[in-house]
Amino acid sequence: MNETEEVAKRLYEACLSGSVKTLNELIGADQLILDRAGSTECFFSDTPLHVAVLRGHLDFAKALLRLKPELATEVDSRRCTPLHLASTEGHIELVRELLHLHVKPDVCTTRDQDGRTPLHLAVMKGRVEVIRELLGAKSCLVHDKLGRGETVLHLSVKYNRLEALKALVEYLQSNNMESLLNSIDDDGNTILHLAATFKQVDTIEYLLGIKSVKDHANDKNRNGSTALDVVEHCPNRDLKTMEIRELLLQAGVQRSNCDEPKPNPELPPNNPPRTQHCCGKTGVIFMGCISWFWTRFRVDRDWLKEVRGHLITAAALTGTMAYQSILSPPGGLWQDNPESPNASSLAHSPSPNLPYHPLFGDHRAGQAILDTMRYGYGNYEAYLSLNTIVLGTSLSTIMLAMTGFPMENKFLTWLLVFTVYITISCMGAAYVIALHLVSPIKNPSVLLLVLVLGWMGVCAFVMTLHSCHFLVWLGNKLVKLVQGCYKCCKPTRRATPNSKDNQAGSHKCVGSFC
């Protein structure tokens, strides 16, 4: 090791420790040590000022800047200036010292190898005081964008720096630059889109409280999606997703397809003058009632998107309940085979207090007790049948919901709804039968009858509602199909049966229909 490298090593150790005394001694021995040190191995990647700034040695950095102010513009191996490092580490006093130098080129606007200015790094690390200091020194920094069009606002949301975002918003509001709050990146995403993507509840709640952001909350990105669409298309639906969705809906954020013209929910009148003539006032009232019912109980087109994951969970639970009810039926199972009428097999059964009685038929171990009761066999058979239906429809619901069929497929949507309602109805009926089997009171009370009838009425009403919508959709499809076939088969002009034009026209129509 030569003498220059040895002195450079002492200078490097002084930078690490922040010893101004050692620095002065080295300068006294060799006034060109700061110039020679740059060519040594110790300072190939960093200058002495870079090392001092990283360690946060304010006095040592001031001493270096007094001796050689040009060190403030030097870059390291990542093209970072000392201001980049001070902004990243949050050394506010060092940031102020570097900003007061007024050296050229301007270190505030210098970009590192990734195209980031000191303000970008301060925002990414959430250094609020540094952000305010940099913006106070150079207000144009807030306009700088990264390679993908990301502003400092996008970075604050991307790295979940809410306090940094608040500092930026306060600065923009105080300087009449609120239009930047709705700036977009190269993908067309606003900061509200990003907050929805990263599921930042606090950030979304804060942004929706800003009038200029709320007024543009329905802006779409390059994919044509609003912030609400981003949340609803998220593959992992959790409680945070539902909370964000409620916040956006309460703020008036809409789905992208809400801008499209919706079909008229009212039933189209089928030749109103003739209906009015034939049916008179009664027909008009009837059509009005149907129109009112159709409008009030219109089914939301996107309801299945919102509950698809919950349907799978509910179907899994109902299937588990049906499976378990077969393994553990009401009344329990026989534990062994009876040897004689006086055998003690019943003493080991789930109901040991039941005496031997001709009421019970022959049985074997593992058989349901209620299955061997002569008077209750029909009820128990119905109980088993209902639970089997519940298990089958639950598995069908899971299969349909997990196939990923498009929501626009009305037939599969109605089939999924039908299986769900069959599951719910059969589960309720199975509960009533089980209650009748195990209850000591065989005559049901009036309250139970009312509850059962009410439950059946609710299920029938909802099922009828969905069935009506499906039948209307199916009827419209059939009408369009018949009209299309009629137009294809109808001759284009009148001709005699034996004319060549008629034969050619008929052949052409048949070909188009096929």
> Is position 224 within any domain?
yes
**Residue 166, token pair as written in the block:** 């608040």
Give the pLDDT score at 29: 85
Q: Are residues 427 and 470 in the same domain?
A: no
CA distances 280 to 42, 150, 291, 458, Å, are: 101, 66, 17, 33
Q: Are residues 36 and 95 in the same domain?
A: yes
Q: Residues near 50 by Cβ (< 8 Å), separated by ≥ 6?
A: 74, 76, 80, 82, 85
Q: Are residues 424 and 352 in the same domain?
A: yes
Is pLDDT above 90 for 285? no
Which residue range forms the structural domain that includes residue 496?
A: 444-514
Give the pLDDT score at 46: 85
Assess contact for 22 and 8: CB atoms under 8 A: no
Q: Are residues 169 and 98 in the same domain?
A: no
**Residue 422, token pair as written in the block:** 């069959």
Paired residues of 368 in beta bridges = 333
Give the pLDDT score at 428: 81
Give the pLDDT score at 409: 66
Is pLDDT above 80 for 392? yes
Q: Are residues 370 and 479 in the same domain?
A: no
| Residue 373 backbone phi and psi in degrees, to 5 | -85, 125
Question: Which pLDDT band, with edges at 50, 70 and 90, does 153 fall under?
Answer: very high
What percent of the chain is predicted at pLDDT more than 70? 69
Q: Are residues 398 and 465 in the same domain?
A: no
Compute how many other C-beta atoms are within 10 angstroms of the C-beta atom of residue 149. Answer: 14
pLDDT: is 43 or 203 the higher one? 203
Is pLDDT above 90 for 85? yes
What is the Cα–Cα distance from 4 to 37, expressed in whole angstroms?
8
What is the Cα–Cα distance from 138 to 109, expressed in whole angstroms?
9
> Is position 438 within any domain?
yes
> Is position 183 within any domain?
yes
Q: Are residues 471 and 410 in the same domain?
A: no
Q: Are residues 115 and 163 in the same domain?
A: no
> Is position 285 within any domain?
no
For 82-127, what is the HEC assignment? Answer: HHHHHHHHCCHHHHHHHHCCCCCCCCCCCCCCCCCCHHHHHHHHCC
| Own/partner long-range contacts of 466-474 (Cβ < 8 Å, ≥24 apart) | 466/299, 466/414, 466/417, 466/418, 466/421, 467/414, 469/299, 470/410, 470/411, 470/414, 472/267, 473/410, 474/410
Is pLDDT above 70 for 453? yes
- Chain segment 347-376, per-residue pLDDT in tens: 344 444 444 444 455 656 666 666 666 555
> Is position 40 within any domain?
yes
- Chain segment 327-345, per-residue pLDDT in tens: 777 767 776 666 544 444 4
Give the pLDDT score at 94: 95
Q: Are residues 126 and 209 in the same domain?
A: no
Beta strands in 100-196 (DSSP E): none
Q: Are residues 137 and 71 in the same domain?
A: yes
Q: Which of 443, 477, 504 finishes a domain?
A: 443
Q: Which of 443, 460, 480 finishes a domain?
A: 443
Q: Are residues 139 and 155 in the same domain?
A: no
Give the pLDDT score at 263: 44
Per-residue pLDDT, averaged over 474-486, amounts to 76
Instruction: CATH number of the domain at 197, please.
Output: 1.25.40.20
Give the pLDDT score at 91: 95
**CA-based nearest residue to 84, from 57, 113, 104, 60:** 113
> Is position 276 within any domain?
no
**CA-based nearest residue to 46, from 197, 402, 54, 480:** 54
Q: Is the dihedral of CA 500, 501, 504, 510 positive or negative?
A: negative
Q: Which of 200, 235, 260 finishes a domain?
A: 260
The count of domains in the chain is 4
Q: Are residues 312 and 429 in the same domain?
A: yes
Assess contact for 36 and 8: CB atoms under 8 A: yes
> Is position 273 within any domain?
no
- Chain segment 86-134, per-residue pLDDT in tens: 999 999 999 999 998 877 778 899 999 999 999 999 999 999 999 999 9
> Is position 493 within any domain?
yes
Query: Could you report how far apart the first and last alpha carbons of the chain are, in Å?
Result: 93
Give the pLDDT score at 479: 78
Is pLDDT above 90 for 163? yes
Give the pLDDT score at 486: 74
What is the Cα–Cα distance from 99 to 86, expressed in whole angstroms?
11
Is pLDDT above 70 for 297? no
